[in-house]
Amino acid sequence: MEQFFDATTDAIIFLDRNYNFSFLNRRANELIAFGRDLLGKNLFESFPGTVYENSPYVESYRKSMEEGVACEFEAFYPEPFHFWLRVHSYPAADGIMIFFRDFTQEKLNREALERQHSELETIYRTAPIGLALFDTDEYRYLRLNDRQAAFFGLKPEEVVGRRLTDMAPIEGLKELFDTVARGEPVVNYPLEGALVTDPGVYRYWTVSYFPVFAADGSIQAITAASLEITEQKKAERALIENEKLAAVGRLASSIAHEINNPLESVTNLLYLARSAETLQQTREYIVGAEIELRRASAITTQTLRFHKQTTHPQEVSLADLLNEALSVYQGRIVNARIRVIRDYKTPRCIRCFEGEIRQVLSNLIANSLDAMGEGGSLTLRAREGTSWQSGEKGLLITVADTGVGMSAAVRHKLFHPFFTTKGQTGTGLGLWISEQIVSRHNGALRVRSSQSKDHHGTVFTLFLPFAAVVR
């Protein structure tokens, strides 16, 4: 029997009726004897101290000894042990039998897990983003934090168990969840609208959905993390409005120059008409003045069309848009002795917001003129093409110049907001906004540039699908 007790991993001791040690197995000697021979020694005398006399084991041992009751408890034992024991005491014929096991590490691990769980729960509840967990059957809320529940003006416990498609009847949302339930994450999905608790304020969010996999590889739940980006949207709109104002300022000087030339001609022709010697000469001068006035009128009409922003997409010709954008800079082109090459090889139109695309083309042309200074060639091309990414058919527009070109470092930052190479005269927003506009039209804007001595210049390539905007 003694060999059997020594083989077990539990510590085992027997106490006689006087609480003297009558047996300790191998494990018990390792845990509490510290090399001493405790056989025949009294438990309380061997481990004196009020801490032990008032600890749970005293009451439990006395119940087992005097009342014949089996007891179980856990307790921390300080000096000289510094461990946690899980103890079972049983009545025996001549005393009590005690089984105990050191579970200090298990206790520490459990406490660490509880602390970690508490910390994670605090982060989950107080996170500045909406967090939620859904089942995969009917997409019901399994749990969510306060930020997510605030979307509905409710508390988390009032939302749990309800289907998302009932709470937020958004078109396409069920199909999106079906995609995630098949194991495909959906990242940065845009949502917009007003909260139930604040219906007067329009807001924007970006939401990411991920499948939760079980150990066997099956999908057991769906997580969602939503971040409100309303303030970011407001800031972007403010930047866009500022850039529009800056664009008006940049164009004003070009337009003033374009109108000033025909007005000067009209002034001179009227002066000559007033001092003409014959009626025929007077008529010729007046006809010339009328031509110049029509030219000024055409410039103002094109300028008004340039800044007209439609609320609905329209079928437009890219050749017309290129020519209209180019006409605004005609005086600057002539004065700088820049040669313009037009190569339009398609009659097809695209469906877009023409004011926005005109703004992009004008920005690209203006940048090319800035890069060349005096002299050089500006090439404008339009032809049909195919997107290598999506396979969509559309129009490919090229704006190329023979300017100084750009370094790799400049090209890397070219579409970043506030990055400019024009010093105080540039806002650093033109190309960034142009890329935003092109992206909204499901297109692509790319750039190639060279600073070599023999072949220098920059080429912007704009791809727009024929149905750039379908709404």
Q: Percent of the chain scored above 90 by pLDDT? A: 21
Burial class (CB in 10 A: 0-12, 13-18, 19+), 463: buried
The candidate with the shortest Cα–Cα distance to 306, out of 251, 237, 256, 365, is: 251
- Burial readout 134-160 (b: 16 or more C-beta within 10 A, e: otherwise): bebeebbbeebbebbbbbbebebeebb
Mean pLDDT of 373-399: 88
Full-prediction pTM beyond 0.95?
A: no
d(CA 207, CA 227): 6
**Cβ(120)–Cβ(98) below 8 Å:** no
Per-residue pLDDT band at 99 (split at 50, 70, 90): very high
The candidate with the shortest Cα–Cα distance to 255, out of 218, 207, 290, 305, is: 305
Tens digit of each residue's pLDDT (9 = 90 or more) over 241-275: 666 666 555 556 556 655 666 677 678 778 778 87
Cα 53 to the chain's mean position, in Å? 62
Q: Directed axis angle between helix 354-372 and helix 230-274, to 10°?
A: 70
**Cβ(233)–Cβ(204) below 8 Å:** yes
Q: What are the chain's domains?
A: 2-106 (3.30.450.20), 127-228 (3.30.450.20), 235-465 (3.30.565.10)
Per-residue pLDDT band at 59 (split at 50, 70, 90): confident
Tens digit of each residue's pLDDT (9 = 90 or more) over 275-310: 778 888 888 878 878 877 776 776 666 555 555 555
Burial class (CB in 10 A: 0-12, 13-18, 19+), 450: middle
Tens digit of each residue's pLDDT (9 = 90 or more) over 183-219: 999 888 887 776 666 677 778 888 899 999 988 889 9
Q: Does the pLDDT at position 427 exceed 60?
A: no
